[in-house]
Amino acid sequence: MQDIKQQQAQIIEDFKAGNQRFLAGMSIHSSRASLMKLKEYARVGQSPKAVVLCCSDSRAPVEMIFDQDLGDVFVIRVAGNIVAPSLVGSVEFAAITFGTPVVMVMGHTQCGAVTTTLRHIQTKEALSSEGLNDIVSRIKPHIHAIARIQNISDEEKVRRAVEANVRASVGQLSHSSRIIEEMVNLGRLQILGAVLDLSSGVVNFLED
């Protein structure tokens, strides 16, 4: 058990260090080396060290932000970093198939899905599609109270809502299936949250 905890801690520290390299403009991975790894992984298969459930936003490329190489991260992208059945299945697949011991839910500032949900709560305007409604309906319960707070700026509401949505997704994912819940309880899977600040590139890891 101690070995798994040490492995999980090392992976998280590696992500933090990678973000620092990215911020400093000192990323260490090259496209040539990555191409060589791709060919090797095609031959022997993948073994990602972490799963990242994150938003689909084009400004939040996980591998670049954490300076991780091809094959390092099993990335699941969906607007609003929500938890839905197919996404739970993707986490289960990585955890079971590759033994990946860390799952990170990463949101980001200025999230369009969160902003849309806040606006929907405040104005009750109709949503343009069933698919968008599905995303908004999964975010809405977790930020409804924030949308109703008076005397704070819209920017502050979005900031608080983004963090609340990440924390909610971490909690949901931890209890989303028998398989995941059992792995978490046994210490074989650690699930944590983080928020990327788009204006700086800094990733803030959320403490429990």
Give the rounded percent of residues in the chain with a pLDDT score beyond 90. 84
pLDDT score at 158 = 97
Amino acid at 100: T
Calpha distance 51→66 (Å, rounded): 13
CATH number at residue 46: 3.40.1050.10
pLDDT score at 45 = 83
pLDDT score at 37 = 82
Mean pLDDT of the chain: 94
Give the rounded percent of residues in the chain with a pLDDT score beyond 70. 98
pLDDT score at 17 = 97
In this prediction, residue 97 has a pLDDT band, given cuts at 50, 70 and 90, of very high
pLDDT score at 125 = 81
CA neighbor of 60 nearest in space, from 116, 15, 13, 110? 110
Q: What would the two tokens of residue 204 be?
A: 């803030």
pLDDT score at 159 = 97
pTM of this structure: 0.93
Residue 1 predicted with pLDDT over 70: no
Q: What would the two tokens of residue 58 be?
A: 């084009």
Calpha distance 1→11 (Å, rounded): 16
pLDDT score at 117 = 95
Domain span at residue 12 reads: 2-206
Calpha distance 106→35 (Å, rounded): 26
CA neighbor of 20 nearest in space, from 66, 70, 69? 66
Residue found by looking up tokens 């094959």 in the block: 71
Q: What is the mean pLDDT of residues 98-116?
A: 97
> Where does 7-149 show beta strands of DSSP type E?
50-54, 73-77, 102-108
pLDDT score at 208 = 63
Query: Residue 180 half-sphere exposure, CB side, CA atoms within 13 Å?
Result: 23
pLDDT in tens, 49-76: 999 999 999 999 999 999 999 999 999 9
Q: What is the mean pLDDT of residues 16-40?
A: 87
Calpha distance 97→48 (Å, rounded): 10
Number of separate domains in the chain: 1
What letter does residue 152 receive in the DSSP assignment?
S
pLDDT score at 42 = 85
Helix (H, G, I), strand (E, B) or coil at 48: coil
Residue 82 predicted with pLDDT over 80: yes
In this prediction, residue 33 has a pLDDT band, given cuts at 50, 70 and 90, of confident
